[in-house]
Structure 1
């Protein structure tokens, strides 16, 4: 891999337009990437090889793994596609009635879950032989879907107008919870805690909220929000959207990426920032830790928050993670004598 000058190593053959997501496999160091250039790509990070590239009929807005040799992607062309990288085959699982913004695969139920700007959540059984038979449910949402995340049997959906909808995917007859975002501005990214107790939610106004599923008073007392990805110059705050959140699979700490070009690592339990990486060339559009937490994929890709302008090329950096960057520091207590 080419050295990225302190940012990590550069992936070869990157997307040619805005990167919308990067995700490591749960089984290897394979990385799936979606982008506005209309393609979904699979990289073998360990050897820095592009293993496959499949096209949609429009910008690819999200992607995830189905298993280590196949992926899922959704697009502004309204389709949900499955890609068999091992055999270089691609097929359409189903369609929405508008651009499809988010896709998740539930290992708990074996379903593909997709959220669209047509204001619906749709569930698909990828094992069924025809598109009609694959549809297992269509559920109306209050607004367009902006971000989704699944952990265990829970699915969290963040929509336009700051709505949050939470489903127990074992019983889709109605949402488990409906609420407004605790953040005052548009939601940008939602990611569930690896331990299944709640989720982190970011906004365009440089804030992250830490939320919990359990509605008991004891658990709700733990939730909080904090400011991040801000710059103060001569007493004036410049605030940047928080585009990405990624949890470390071992320690449960998490990284955030913003339009300021920085990636920060946070200890949510102790409410501390653990580390700030060197500034990347442009906005951080997406982040993903590898399955063992040794690597962090960083998509440095301008997100057009300042409109059309000359900007650095879209790049994916793979950073080796040191334990001190992500491991929570022990609490210190004063000794009373």
Structure 2
């Protein structure tokens, strides 16, 4: 373990990517962890056994990844391609391509489609069963470059440059169900849907997170709010850090955020409270993912070049065992005198 990090940081995975980690995701079936990196590789780890199970290589930086099943996945790359990997057989296929870097990839188990978002300002859907570089089954123009995507069936939320948010119904992708503007003032970094499918959390470069709801009624929109996080105040001066990552706990619906300050915070969104802050990690938090049962949290400590080229700590992946007290919402205390 690095000297700068306390024992509470979690177990550090061996053989981490040597260059910037763009994303990591736990499998829905095991403690397998899929990791994409700027070193042009996709890696599969067994997070519990702390072993590297395999890796595949693109011709350019890999900007995102997601699982298909427990031993195969999809990746999005700056080489303009979308690829599928089977770590059991060693087979690799190009699923399709865009006209610019592919920033985001998601797989919908309900529709059997792979959805990709690119800096060519399009969203594309691919049939996961069709191998080879085939035309997409659908191409949907976006208002700007795609920065982040998230889906909880039937909703797909797409966040682009220019603070645009498009919400799609996966059962009818012909046009967005909602076209919205971010309620945050600055560039979007991450969007993640609530596990219960009622809305999404959005983070930005100015150290804020917005909690949004799909219900456009007056009552539904009255529930939305935004809050400040990943800020440091010294001598009366605020230092603001981008919030790069959001991950929801699959059981409790609480969520973790990771920022360029190197901190991971856990929040109870319903009660608008911070539940926990972990000890500072060596460098920026680039990505977060809870395991399927919420027992583990994978943390990518990886400099995100928000301050340009400079000396920084090596990239590392920490896997933290989660204590229920860190993620379980605390019951509201009712003051009898106030009732």
TM range (shorter): over 0.9
CA contact (8 A) 1:11 1:315 kept: yes
Deviations 1:6-53 (A, max 9, x none): 210010100010000010000000000000000000001111111110
Aligned-residue Cα RMSD (Å) equals 1.3
C-alpha distance in 2, partners of 1:199/1:31?
23
* TM-aligned CA deviation for residue 128 of structure 1: 1.9
Deviations 1:132-179 (A, max 9, x none): 36x210000000000000001110000001000110010111100111
* TM-aligned CA deviation for residue 108 of structure 1: 1.6
Aligned residue in 2 for 1:101: 103
C-alpha distance in 1, partners of 2:180/2:153?
20
CA contact (8 A) 1:30 1:42 kept: yes
Are residues 281 and 130 of structure 1, via their aligned partners in 2, closer, same or farther at CA, if it must alter by over 3 Å? closer
The TM-score, its normalising length taken from structure 1, stands at 0.98
Aligned residue in 1 for 2:155: 154
C-alpha distance in 1, partners of 2:178/2:258?
28
CA contact (8 A) 1:4 1:10 kept: no
Aligned residue in 2 for 1:69: 71
CA contact (8 A) 2:23 2:65 kept: yes
Structure 1: runs of 5+ lacking an equivalent = none
Moved over 3 A (4+): 1-4
CA contact (8 A) 2:95 2:134 kept: no
What SS is found at the alignment partner of 1:77? coil
CA contact (8 A) 1:19 1:35 kept: yes
Aligned residue in 1 for 2:244: 243
The TM-score, its normalising length taken from structure 2, stands at 0.97
CA contact (8 A) 2:12 2:317 kept: yes
Aligned residue in 2 for 1:142: 143
Deviations 1:193-218 (A, max 9, x none): 00000000000000000000111111
* TM-aligned CA deviation for residue 129 of structure 1: 4.1
Q: Report matched runs for 1:85-124 at 5 Å.
A: 85-124=87-126
CA contact (8 A) 2:94 2:132 kept: no
Aligned residue in 1 for 2:165: 164
Query: Structure 1 residues 6-15 or 121-130, which shifts more?
Result: 121-130
C-alpha distance in 1, partners of 2:121/2:150?
16
Equivalences, count: 336
Query: Structure 1 residues 44-53 or 142-151, which shifts more?
Result: 44-53
C-alpha distance in 1, partners of 2:81/2:133?
11
CA contact (8 A) 1:4 1:317 kept: no
C-alpha distance in 1, partners of 2:26/2:182?
28
CA contact (8 A) 1:284 1:299 kept: yes
Aligned residue in 2 for 1:265: 266
* TM-aligned CA deviation for residue 5 of structure 1: 2.7
Aligned residue in 1 for 2:8: 6
C-alpha distance in 1, partners of 2:227/2:49?
38
C-alpha distance in 1, partners of 2:206/2:141?
28
C-alpha distance in 1, partners of 2:14/2:200?
33
What SS is found at the alignment partner of 1:132? coil
Aligned residue in 2 for 1:176: 177
What SS is found at the alignment partner of 1:6? helix
What SS is found at the alignment partner of 1:269? coil
Which of residues 42, 45, 48 is equivalent to 2:44?
Answer: 42
Aligned residue in 2 for 1:57: 59
What SS is found at the alignment partner of 2:16? coil
Deviations 1:250-290 (A, max 9, x none): 00000000000000000000000000000000000000000
What SS is found at the alignment partner of 2:288? strand
Q: Report matched runs for 1:222-241 at 5 Å.
A: 222-241=223-242
Q: Does 2:30 align with 1:28?
A: yes
Q: Report matched runs for 1:202-213 at 5 Å.
A: 202-213=203-214
Aligned residue in 2 for 1:190: 191
Aligned residue in 1 for 2:320: 319
